[in-house]
Structure 1
């Protein structure tokens, strides 16, 4: 997630994203220091904190990918099927964009309930390297010192970020793939061709999702960095952070995130398609033309 997630999906695509995510979070939390872009940020982190620092937050990110990916991809197919059951196949097909949006949003909501504590822990570990030693230590310390509520202080921002992110991700993927298969006969396309189409569609979907969700991703990093003031609610904190950031500040780290989300999403859909083929479920719940 977390970038965020943000962030989710097949583990094979996650490893390079983990290091990008650590650097990206630093850029968002301290744009004055980390002002040299993705590559420059890598060099700064390694020079200042050592090579191992780029893997800070590895545990919660990996756990978040596993849980959120299961909820998101499985939930998306589940809610598409429920839509068909509710309104009928022909109505679902005629209104497929709305079905894609609703299915993605519902799947993401439940995925975020699982993701939020892990994302809060990851951001705290990145922003305060001495806070705790790994996922279990960080999770336990936040629970003991701040309570369960601290894990969900960023739930609103996560929804604000992840729901539009996932909606854009699945809808753009479906639309791009549908456009390509309008020209290419899917039944005649080789396995390699289908994987390539999944990669290309996923890359474009990832770019769209990153742009749509970037402001909320930056706010999420900020709100999880420190505790709120006594009596300060999440909404008031978000308003204050938004005013401080401005439009330009809310897109800090966008270059790193475009690279990260674009490549990750391309890999996710390619692997997801291959897994469905291996399981004999190549169609999934299809309502495209």
Structure 2
């Protein structure tokens, strides 16, 4: 029998009656999605700062850091001390806190907006397109907030003597290079990295979740909270692996272009860097990044799902498969 689909906004409380009575709507609802996304992204990216430091060093100085992830960890500790592994923690946490708010909150908002514009039937038939457009728009907006802090993070990691921390590094870049060149010279590569990454992340997550729940014989309404957490973690891990590979070349270029101030048009500099690195060079640091992004994405979706329930926001706008 043909499969059907339904689009719904779910909130999970003790009973459906209570749910209908207290479920948040409008700005209150999307603010909860945004806060849950901000916390999940800020804490996960912040906790993986040591892995990101090593990954960035491998990308920027592959001659020195050429002994793999574990070997490079040991090199950083031996040469600079264990504290170097936390370089850039401040801009990482704050930058991805802001990005997570716009990304997750925006994803839910744009999904609902698209469904309202095209109607449920068309959304059902084209749910992958809905996921792609909603996540792409949300990430583009999120990157505007993230870019200055990501530029500061990379400068601190690549040039340990550049500044003592977030505030001094941020102010030095602004004073010496200005807002556009200092903070947004990497905007094009960060969009090229983050938008495909986020689109792959949400599309793969949604499809993996749907497949797993189908195998379990349930959906968001019928599965227990513990089971849903497992679904979120597993789907997030799969999504993270896919997103890491897709976005790796742009991630390498982003690290390279933010290492120094540079001169000339951004696109010309990117083309030059890509030619200089070659195909193999664009995938420098892929190993540690797969580890980092896989773990990070899994934890993000796990934390995000839990916080949505804690905040009373439920599962958000869900396009899910149902059997007739």
Match of 2:13 in 1: none
Which has more strand, going by share of residues?
Answer: 2
Match of 1:189 in 2: 223
Aligned residues, how many?
281
Q: Distance in 2 between matches of 1:217 and 1:18?
A: 15
Q: Distance in 2 between matches of 1:243 and 1:165?
A: 22
Asked if the contact 1:89/1:287 (under 8 Å) is kept, the reply is: no
Q: Over alpha carbons, which structure has the higher Rg?
A: 2
Q: Does 1:158 align with 2:205?
A: no
Per-residue deviation, residues 182-206 of structure 1 (Å, max 9, x unmatched): 2221333222111111100000000
Distance 1:8 1:264, change over 3 A: farther
Divergent runs of 4+, >6 A: none
User: RMSD between aligned alpha carbons?
Assistant: 1.4
Match of 2:142 in 1: 111
Aligned with 2:207 (options 138, 150, 175): 175
Per-residue deviation, residues 184-229 of structure 1 (Å, max 9, x unmatched): 2133322211111110000000000100000000000000001213
Q: Does 1:234 align with 2:266?
A: yes
Deviates more, 1:112-121 or 1:31-40: 31-40
Greater RCO (CA < 8 Å, at least 6 residues apart): 2
Aligned with 1:31 (options 43, 49, 62): 62
> Gapped runs of 5+ residues in structure 1?
1-6
Asked if the contact 2:59/2:285 (under 8 Å) is kept, the reply is: yes
Q: Distance in 2 between matches of 1:138 and 1:226?
A: 13
Deviation at 1:60, TM superposition (A): 0.4
Q: Does 1:278 align with 2:310?
A: yes
Q: Does 1:224 align with 2:230?
A: no
Q: Does 1:101 align with 2:132?
A: yes
SS at match of 1:248: helix
Asked if the contact 1:46/1:54 (under 8 Å) is kept, the reply is: yes
